[in-house]
Amino acid sequence: MLACCIAACTGGEPVNPPAASAKPAAVSEPAGTKPAAAAPTPAADHGTGVVQDLPYAQGRTFDSLDAYLAFLKQRGKTGVPWYREVKPGLYELVSRRGPGAEPRRYTRAELLERFGFTDPPSNR
């Protein structure tokens, strides 16, 4: 609409015509949103079972899911999302949720896969 008003005021001539070799403007995300990105995949050293590059790990490595979940629970005091075991083998993400949002729950197998751990035979 603004372009119509400007064109009317200037006799129909474009104010700043685009250069012949100008590239089309890139489409940007709406304000306040981030482009969708794939979650980084944690790196597991299959020789030792140690997993690194985990979310909120601050550069630490962990040799088990239980050790990582305990670390997140401790960091939860500072607002870091963590997982609470609601019944054996079922975990709920503890984080800020919008009004009416359903809790997000994950099985132990889902968390093992998500973070790149393998469960020792005694926990299976």
CA distance 123 to 75: 25
CA distance 107 to 92: 9
pLDDT along the chain (124 residues), means of 10: 49 52 45 44 60 95 96 96 97 94 97 92 60
What's residue 120's pLDDT?
A: 75
What's residue 25's pLDDT?
A: 46
CA distance 59 to 7: 57
DSSP result, 29-96: PPTT-----PPPPPEEETTTTEEES-TT-TT--BSSHHHHHHHHHHHGGGT--EEEEEETTEEEEES-
Name the β-bridge partners of 51.
44, 62
C-alpha separations of 104 from 71, 76, 101, 108 in Å? 19, 16, 9, 13
What's residue 13's pLDDT?
A: 54
What's residue 91's pLDDT?
A: 98
Q: What is the pTM of this model?
A: 0.62
CA distance 23 to 79: 43
